[in-house]
Copies of this chain bind each other. A is one copy, B any other.
Amino acid sequence: MITQATCQQLDQQDPLAPIREQFNLPPNVIYLDGNSLGAQPKAAIQRAQQVIEQEWGDKLIGSWNSAGWFDLPSRLGDLLAPLIGAKSSEVVLTDSTSINLFKTLAAGLKIQAEKHPQRKVIVTERINFPTDLYMIQGITEWLNQGYQLQLIDTTEELYTAINDDTALVLLTQVNYRTGELLDMQALTAHAHKHDVLTIWDLCHSAGAVPIDLNGCNADFAVGCTYKYLNGGPGAPAFIWIAERHQTAFTHPLSGWWGHNAPFAMQAEFTPTKTIRRALCGTQPIVSLALVEVGLSTFEQTNINAVRGKSLALTDLFIALVAQECGTHGLSLVTPTEHAKRGSHVSYMHPHAYPIIQALIKRGVIGDYREPQVARFGFTPLYTSYMDVWNAVQALKHILDNNDYEIHAPRNAVT
Residues of A at under 8 Å CB distance from B? Answer: 24, 26, 29, 31, 33, 36-37, 39-40, 44-45, 48-49, 51-53, 55-65, 69-70, 95-99, 102, 106, 110, 126, 129-131, 133-135, 137-139, 141-143, 151, 177, 224, 226, 232-237, 250-257, 259, 262-269, 280-288, 290, 360, 365, 367, 369-370, 410-414
User: A235's contact among B37, B64, B250, B284, by CB below 8 Å, is which?
Assistant: B284
Whether B142 lies near A110 (C-beta < 8 A) is: yes
From known contacts A267-B126, A290-B286, infer whether A256 and B61 are also in contact, taking CB-CB under 8 Å: no
Contact between A44 and B52 (Cβ–Cβ < 8 Å)? yes
A199 to chain B, nearest CB (A): 15
> Taking the full assembly, how many copies of this chain does it contain?
2
Given A142-B252, A266-B130 in contact, is the A99-B280 Cβ separation under 8 Å? yes
Measured in the bound complex, the distance between the Cα atoms of B29 and A259 in whole Å is 32
Residue of B nearest to A366 (CB): B61
Asked whether A253 lies within 8 Å of B98 as measured between CB atoms, the reply is yes
Q: Which of B40, B95, B236 contacts A99 (CB 8 A)?
A: B95
> Inside 8 A of A51's CB, which chain B residues have their CB?
233
* Residue of B with least CB distance to A413: B64
Contact sample, A vs B, 8 pairs, CB 8 Å cutoff: A40-B57, A55-B233, A63-B233, A131-B255, A142-B251, A226-B282, A234-B288, A235-B286
CB pair B63–A52 under 8 Å, yes or no, is: no
Question: Contacts of A36 on B, CB cut-off 8 Å?
Answer: 61
Q: How far does the alpha carbon of A295 sit from the alpha carbon of B185 in the complex, in Å?
A: 49
Seed contacts A24-B57, A98-B253; 10 additional CB < 8 Å A-B pairs? A37-B61, A48-B49, A102-B252, A130-B259, A133-B268, A134-B254, A138-B252, A232-B286, A284-B284, A285-B287
Residues of B within 8 A of A370 (CB): 263-265
Chain B neighbourhood of A55, CB < 8 A:
233
| Beta-carbon contact of B137 and A268 below 8 Å | yes
**Taking A98-B253, A110-B142, A285-B233 as contacts, is the C-beta distance between A40 and B52 under 8 angstroms?**
yes
With A61-B365, A236-B284, A413-B64 as contacts: A138 and B96 at CB distance below 8 Å: no
Q: Chain B nearest CB: distance from A105 CB in Å?
A: 9
- Give 6 nearest A-B pairs by CB, closest first: A96-B281, A98-B281, A98-B255, A284-B287, A138-B254, A142-B252
Contact yes or no, A58 B26, CB < 8 A? yes
B33:A61 contact, CB within 8 angstroms: yes
Bound-state Cα–Cα, A61 to B233, Å: 9
